[in-house]
Amino acid sequence: MLFENKNLVEKKFNSFYRYNDLEIGVIGYTDKKIIVNDIDHLHDFVRDIDGDYLILAKQGSDLALITHPLLTKPCYYRLNDLEISLMPVHGQEKNWTPCLPNTHYVFQKDKLKSLSNCFTWDRKELHHSYDKIFEEFEKVMHHVPKHNTTLSSGKDTGVICAYLNDKNIKSVYHTINQNDEDQQVLKQRIGLIKAGNDQSRLVMITNQIIDDDIKKRIREYNSICWPPLEIDVQSMVDFDLIFSGVHDNYLLLGTGGDQLYRFKSVVTHPISLFIHEMNIISEWHNITHLNPLMSTRLYQSFLNVKEHYKKTHCWQEKYMTELDYPYGADK
């Protein structure tokens, strides 16, 4: 629970700010420290930041809830003795309302007073290259906490790991050894980790056994996820083990790449089964999943690239090529 009994639950947030009677809690991270002294100024401030966040702020009887433009962190609210949570309380799902992406909610005295969009997407096609995307991606990676990341043979975790390898950044790489990976590419990427920064390390697991305990834990959430989680139990049990091995507050994922950066993508809120899965497992382990590819400025830069260029070029492939990082066929 993020808000209950008319108060923010401070321990549930990754960052927490106080300015006189104003309290602000952040799930995830922002690329700038939030500095406002009035809850009414929060909307304009947030429009100029990037990151992977869910923001709640309380001042007096007023409460503001701001969701990420691409809804990297789904959450829910319940009126009448207002409560806000990352997940509905089991058995009471019908009483909870899912929050929309890119939305600033204002509650006053436990009632929903207003809601408005935070960010407006600019769809002008201006650029005939991915230079701006590369610039924005490296800005995102500079600010995001990156002590733990997932590793696969695909493009989306590939660009994250390519950046870490190029900058020689200490990190723990978590990977699942499974048959649908390009084994040659994965082997080459693992070789770079072992040959590079001697403070980085690799944690490799194999597909886990699906037992009755995990099935029971997953079944509790089927009423709020569609398609139901039970169609992807193997991913849930594998990532449950990965999150259990993270000795930090954050884990980087490649979420969003398939939804956002394929030709003719018009997605502006890639709500997916995987996001719900990661939200649930984050709750189980008190580890926050972060999704650098769902950066607002990064996706905005992609929208501004000319359509005919996007049709024949993949920015992740070009980025990895520039850094001489191994990649293979689209996964």
> Is the pLDDT reported for residue 259 higher than 90?
no
> Is the pLDDT reported for residue 269 higher than 60?
no
> Is the pLDDT reported for residue 268 higher than 60?
no
**What mean pLDDT comes out for the span 259-272?**
63
Whole-prediction pTM: 0.90
Contact 1, 9 (CB under 8 A): yes
What is d(CA 252, CA 173) in angstroms, rounded to the nearest whole number? 10
What are the tens digits of pLDDT across the range 136-195?
999 999 999 999 999 999 999 999 999 999 999 999 999 988 777 888 999 999 999 988
Q: By mean pLDDT, which of 47-56, 100-109, 230-239, 244-253 is the weakest? A: 230-239
> Is the pLDDT reported for residue 264 higher than 60?
no
Contact 240, 211 (CB under 8 A): no
What is d(CA 138, CA 141) in angstroms, rounded to the nearest whole number? 5
**In 154-256, which ranges are continuous DSSP H helix?**
155-166, 183-195, 212-219, 233-244
Contact 294, 70 (CB under 8 A): yes
pLDDT bucket at 289, cuts 50 / 70 / 90: very high
Top mean pLDDT of 111-120, 188-197, 204-213 is at 111-120
- Comparing 226 with 117, which gets the higher pLDDT? 117
What is d(CA 204, CA 146) in angstroms, rounded to the nearest whole number? 18
State both tokens at 36: 């406002």
> Is the pLDDT reported for residue 329 higher than 70?
no
pLDDT bucket at 55, cuts 50 / 70 / 90: very high
> Is the pLDDT reported for residue 73 higher than 80?
yes
**What mean pLDDT comes out for the span 301-314?**
92
Question: What is the homologous superfamily of the domain 131-322 according to CATH?
Answer: HUPs (3.40.50.620)
List the one residue out of 227, 232, 220 whose CA is nearest residue 93: 220
> What is the spatial order of strands in the sheet that 201-206 belongs to?
201-206, 172-177, 148-151, 250-252, 288-290
Average pLDDT, the chain: 88
Question: Which sequence spans correspond to the domains of the chain?
Answer: 3-117, 131-322
Q: Do domains 3-117 and 131-322 have the same CATH topology?
A: no
Burial of 133 (0-12, 13-18, 19+ CB in 10 A): buried
The predicted pLDDT at position 113 comes to: 95
What is d(CA 112, CA 162) in angstroms, rounded to the nearest whole number? 44
Question: What is the homologous superfamily of the domain 3-117 according to CATH?
Answer: Aminohydrolase, N-terminal nucleophile (Ntn) domain (3.60.20.10)
pLDDT bucket at 254, cuts 50 / 70 / 90: very high
